[in-house]
Each structure stands twice: as C-alpha cells, then as structure tokens.
Amino acid sequence: MDTSELIKTLASHSQRPARPLSTVWLMAVGISISVAALVFFNVLGLRPDIAAAVETPRFLFKFLVSITLAASAYSCVRVLSQPGENWRNAILCLAAAPALISLAVVVELFTLPSDTWSATLIGTNSIVCLTYIPLIGIGPLAIFLWTLQYGAPTRPALAGAVAGLLAGGIAATFYAAQCTDDSPLFVATWYTIAITILAILGAVGASRFARW
Amino acid sequence: MERRDEAELARLMRAAISGDERAYGDFLQQAACLVRGLARRKIVRGGIDPEDIVQETLLAIHLKRHTWRQDAPIMPWLYAIAKYKLIDAFRHRGRRAEIEIVEIAETYAGPTSETVSDQEIRHALATLAPGQRSVVTAISVNGRSIGETAKWLGMSETAVRVALHRGLAAITERFGQKQNGYK
C-alpha cells in the first residue's frame, strides 16, 4: 500500500477523535488522589495529635513542600506528554520544591543545637516513611503511566520520572498527615529517598510501557 | 510560507477533529509532504526508507491526534512526532546492525517479561489474518526491514507493504473502536 492509500484509509476513520489528553490528565489526577486517600485512610490514618500539630509551622511546612512538588510535577508531566511542547522550560519549575526544602533545612540548622541534628535527621519513622510513601504512591504512578501511554511522550523515561515525582508529591502529602517527624532535616532526607524510588520506578516503567 | 502552512494545517486539523473527512485527508496529504522532506534531509545513511518514516508518522498522528491542543501551534506537534519516529527508526537500525555483528539471534528472541503492552500487542496481532500477522510481527515487533521480511517470507516488497498496512489499518480500526467503547 502506498502512502496515498494509507492516507485514504486513515481519513475514513476521522470520525472518532479520542478524549482530549488534557481532560484525561484531570481525570487521572482525580482518580489518583482518591486511590491514595483510600490506601492512606485504610492502612495509616491521621496522627492522633493532629489538632495540635496543625498549629506548628514545621508540620504545615511539610504540606507546602509536598503540594508544591505535586503541582509543579503535574504541570511538567502534562507538557512532557504532548509532542511539540517546550518541556525544557517547563522542567525548570521542578526546582521549586527542592529550593523550599533546602531553605528550610538551613533555617532548621540555625534553629537547632548541633548535637540534636543527627537524632532529628534519623527521626523515629524513617522505615515507615520509606515504606508508605512508595506504597501510597504506587497506585497513582500506575495511573499516570497509563495516562502517559495514552498521550505521546517524546521523552518517555523523563516523563515517567516526573510522573513518579507527581505520584510521590501526592503520596507525601497524605503520609505527612500521619508522620510525627516534622523537622525539615527528616523530610529532606527520607521523603526525598522515598519519592526518588517512585521517580525511578516511573522512569523505568514509562520507558517500557509509554512507547508509541 | 511556514506561517501560511501553519494556519492552513491547524484549520484543516480542527475541521478534521470535528469530523470533516476531506479536511483530514488534505491534512494528512500536506503532513506527508512535510515529513517526507524532513525524512529525506535526515536520513543520510541507507537502511531506512524515508517513505516508511512518512507512513509511521501518519499512523502516529492518527492514533495520537487527541494529544494536539486545538489552541497550540500544529507544526511543532507534527515535527515532534516525525522526529520521534525518525529516532525510533535509527534505533531499530542500530539494533539490527548490532545483532548482525554479535550474532545473538537466539538469546535475543528469548522470552521477555510479561508486560501489559506485550499482551496488548499479542492480542492485537491475534486478530489479524496469518499472512498479515507474520508481516506485522516481523516489522513492527521484531524490527526487520521491509526488504528482509520480503526475503524471509518469500514475498515481493510490494506485497509486504500491502500486508503491513492492511494489518496496521485493521489494528487501528479495532483500537479506535475500543476507545470509543470506553466513552
């Protein structure tokens, strides 16, 4: 079959355009948040002293960082899933969350006496954090990888890594409501490792499943 | 020229999305010309037929046309798809060369892990007629060239092309229906 015949064949299937990608992304995020919430409230739940915690800046700051990460990763992954968009610029906004947490770490180091640094950093929940952030995030990540496959990422591995950051941002936002280690030192260490696990899974997953 | 192309192509694609078959045909025709130009410029070494890139790109445009935002420029979208398909073809050619050198045909063809996309591919292939299936498998799954496949199956190159595109068109049709079924 030559090209003009192929064109004829394709043109005769013009009548059913699929759902626009932007709509599918919104749906994917909505479903992912529900899935994450379901897992979170079934296996972890809120910390008992939540009422007192919401009045402390360290507790609230965790949400500022994780929501910033999720929001920037969301805008970035959408751009990465559409051919021809300027993803090089879009990816710059991913620096927002790391910048926030780095700043907080510096402030924390000035605030805390140096002999408490290592105990604060290690905290009491590091294993819990490394287990539950990936666990809460894996469902959303699967949904985002499917969405990437529905789209057309010209850089599948990169798009998958950012999808992992988005899943990680959502998971961390839920997990932060349970964890009692609120210090930026703890967050910068363990949350980062946990979210990186999701980003690596995303990159590997997308380079296998999101080719088109 | 570029700007006129842009406006015209965007107009045609918008009409196509709202169901205008003729506009869609015209769009694909013009897209084919642009991609053909690109492919001929980029393919300097042999081993890849520019027309294969044109057809791969047209098929990708068709399957992924929901990824174009109607308010976005269309040329960058179109070229990004064409470049992706070009890089894919270069990678396949590289892999073919590698296999020939190392001669690991057997180990390479060993069972790969069960993935969703593998399963989907098998599923899609299972719906094809046997002749089309061996052609589509050889080219789209195993990455053989049209020429190799023709020799391997003892068919003419034209016959391989026809079988490939009939097969891909059949898959496209099923794929479209499946998506429609989800709505």
Question: How large is the ipTM?
Answer: 0.88
- From the CA of B20, how many Å to the nearest CA of chain A? 7
pLDDT reported for residue B25: 93
pTM: 0.77
Least confident stretch, A42-56, A84-98, B154-168: B154-168
Q: What is the DSSP letter of A95?
A: G
d(CA A4, CA A23): 33
Do B29 and A7 count as a contact with CB atoms less than 8 A apart?
yes
Q: How many CA atoms lie within 13 A of A119 on its CB side?
A: 5
For residue A136, give the amino acid letter.
I
Looking at chain B, the domain(s) classified CATH 1.10.1740.10 span 1-110
The hierarchical CATH code for the domain B111-183 is 1.10.10.10
Residue type, A24: V
Q: Give domain status of residue A11, yes or no.
A: no
Q: How many domains does chain A have?
A: 1
Contact A207, A149 (CB under 8 A): no
**Maximum separation of any 2 CA atoms in chain A, in Å:** 75
Query: Band of the pLDDT at A177, cuts 50, 70, 90?
Result: very high
According to CATH, where is 1.10.10.10 located in chain B? Answer: 111-183
Confidence of residue B100 (pLDDT cuts 50, 70, 90): low
pLDDT value for A9: 86
- Quick one: average pLDDT of B78-86? 95
Shortest Cα distance, chain B CAs vs residue A207, angstroms: 12
A50 Cα to chain B: minimum distance (Å): 41
Has residue A4 been placed in a domain? no
CATH topology of domain B1-110: Rna Polymerase Sigma Factor; Chain: A (1.10.1740)
- pLDDT above 50 for B105: no
Mean pLDDT score, A40-58: 94
Could you tell me if residue A87 is inside a domain? yes
Q: pLDDT by residue (tens digit) across A136-158?
A: 999 999 999 999 999 999 999 99
Task: Give me the residues of B, 154-183, that contact A with CB < 8 A.
Answer: 161-162, 164-166, 169, 172-173, 176, 179-180, 183
Nearest by CB: B176 against A13, A22, A209: A13
Residue A37, domain member (yes or no): yes
Give A68-92 pLDDT, tens digit per residue: 999 999 999 999 999 999 999 999 9
Contacts of A3 (CB under 8 A, 6+ apart): B32, B51, B54, B55, B58
- All residues of chain B having their beta carbon less than 8 Å from the beta carbon of residue A12 are 21
Average the pLDDT over each of A171-175, B111-115, B126-130 and give the range with the smallest value.
B111-115
